[in-house]
Amino acid sequence: MAKEKTVYTCTECGGTSPKWLGKCPHCNAWNTLEETVAESAAKHRFQALAKSAPVTTLSEIEAVDVARTPTGIDELDRVLGGGIVAGGVVLIGGDPGIGKSTLLLQALDALSHQVRTLYVTGEESGAQVALRARRLGLDGSRVRVQAEIQLEKILATIEDEKPAVAVIDSIQTIYSDQLTSAPGSVAQVRECSAQLTRTAKATGTAMVLVGHVTKEGSLAGPRVLEHIVDTVLYFEGDTHSAFRLVRAFKNRFGAVNEIGVFAMTERGLKGVANPSAIFLSTHGEPVPGSCVLVTLEGTRPMLVEVQALVDSSPIPAPRRLSVGLEQNRLAMLLAVMHRHAGIACYDQDVFVNAVGGVRISEPAADLAVMLAIQSSLRGKPLPRGFLTFGEVGLAGEIRPAPRGQERLKEAAKLGFSVAVVPKANAPRRPIEGLTIHAVERVEQAIELVRGL
């Protein structure tokens, strides 16, 4: 029997090379080439699916809003942009055991009362899915279940059942007869996801693909998987915590970086209507080193507590550690404090933490980090009901944050009374119950806080 020809495929860009190389010649990524079986070029199996379309002027194309089907889970609908879109393909990834299958089974059960649904499981048997449904209290569920890993049989089932929504759990377990490589390989994942995406677009079936993640937390498989789908969702959170975050990193039908907050209960995942309560500590009295920040996650303002601990260092090189915030930005803020406000921490260990396990990436957290550090260093707490937000520049200026009015209104709604904000974010009309101090410089903000 003739030996099958193999090529080396890049897991990042999908490019191929006839031999193994340390660096991909197409995208210059290192150590991403994996051996796969070369595909036969005799005939192209997608030729029948390639439909020609005439060239049309953009202004002549009718633009209509896409119809959405609510999943029945408000927090999931928020992340998706309002609900499931017919023909849309959603990729959801997360650590093992974090709740991906649980959430999708709950969503399918709610959708099954409106439309036909199909749950394809490649990791469990039908009996295991039924046991989970019973634990979640989904007795009498109308969800259709298929335990199958062969792509061609799954596509035949979709054609026969004609579901409005189909879940594939997971894409790494599916294989196609057209390829000889093992399930989960780069070629199989790329092939199966492409076939399922084409089926979704051709039939109008909304497809949800569950993806595994690597040790680094990124989705396993080729990067092209994230490019061909319409929406990419990530499950975040500690498996030891009761709370989970679902974050949208890509969404062709809604806002990016939108998040949904869930609590894991005995009856599955339940949406959290007021997520700010999770990320705020319940101190009896204000404590030094604690500052409340109003951050923006997608379109939702959220209040998060930032804690700082400044202590004398026993070693010549003091430690700078941040959890939930960018560590390089912490070093920059300490330099700005020293240069423009005269606060030196060169002989102090500095630890900064965002409460609740949330990750903050926006620069509007700068001012809250800085005020928490100076509060811990002085051993004096910030006043009760205090909050802040604003970006700090290297010149010591405080820059405005986007959608400042919404942040302040959310804080006032939750009972906060004192706010220090960038001058450009100061509202023209006063907000009831909220005293707002507008500042332009770092030294001005720190001097103002000392007098409160």
Among candidate residues 100, 112, 107, 113, the one with its CA nearest the CA of residue 144: 112
Q: Is 396 exposed, middle or buried (0-12, 13-18, 19+ CB in 10 A)?
A: middle
End-to-end C-alpha distance for the chain, whole angstroms: 83
8 Å CB contact between 248 and 257: yes
The Cα 65–Cα 71 span in angstroms is 18
Structure tokens at 286: 């204000």
Residue 363 annotated as lining a ligand binding site: no
Output the CA torsion sign for 76, 79, 82, 87. negative
Residue 17 annotated as lining a ligand binding site: no
Q: Could you please report the per-residue DSSP string of 261-276?
A: EEEEETTEEEE-S-GG
Residue 14 annotated as lining a ligand binding site: no
What's the number of CA atoms in the CB half-sphere (13 Å) around residue 308?
34
Residue 88 annotated as lining a ligand binding site: no
Q: Which residue has the tokens 């920040």?
A: 293
User: Which run of H or of E encompasses 246?
Assistant: strand 243-251
Q: Is 381 exposed, middle or buried (0-12, 13-18, 19+ CB in 10 A)?
A: middle
Residue 98 annotated as lining a ligand binding site: yes
Q: What is the DSSP letter of 285?
A: S
Q: What are phi and psi of 359, to 5 degrees?
A: -110, 125
Residue 94 annotated as lining a ligand binding site: yes
Kindly list the distances between the CA atom of residue 193 and the CA atoms of 189, 228, 254, 294, in Å, as whole numbers in the listed order.
Answer: 6, 8, 22, 39
Residue 100 annotated as lining a ligand binding site: yes
Residue 101 annotated as lining a ligand binding site: yes
246 forms beta bridges with 235, 260
Q: Is 6 left (phi over 0), alpha (psi -120 to 50) or beta?
A: beta
8 Å CB contact between 63 and 208: no
Binding residues for ATP, by number, are 94-101
Binding residues: 94-101
